[in-house]
Amino acid sequence: MCLWTEADERRLLVCVNYSENHSQCRVTIPDERLKTRTWTLRDLLSSASYVREGQDLCGPGLYRDMQPWETQAFSIE
């Protein structure tokens, strides 16, 4: 997992399954500023989007279910 925060507060999250196996995980985003509101994660590689509570992103984390070698990129808005 990599998280980029740009000067204008735009956040980009990239998740990669570096495995030849189907994998699941929770990605905890270490940004306390996310906790106080609801966020939309827009998948930059498909048309999917997800609405998540900030406290869940920082707490138990974002659940991901990924195919072998799959990459996911999200804009956190």
Who's near 70: CB < 8 A, 6+ residues apart? Answer: 16, 17
Amino acid at 21: N
Alpha-helical regions (H) of 1-77: 54-58
pLDDT per residue as tens digits for the range 17-72: 999 999 999 999 888 888 999 999 999 999 999 999 999 999 999 999 999 999 99
Whether 1 has a pLDDT exceeding 60, the answer reads no
Whether 8 has a pLDDT exceeding 80, the answer reads no
| DSSP class per residue in 55-67 | HHHHTT-EEEEE-
The CATH H-level (homologous superfamily) assignment of domain 2-76 is: Golgi alpha-mannosidase II (2.60.40.1180)
pLDDT at 71: 93
Domain segments of the chain: what residues?
A: 2-76
pLDDT at 40: 96
The pTM of the full predicted model, rounded to 2 decimals, is 0.81
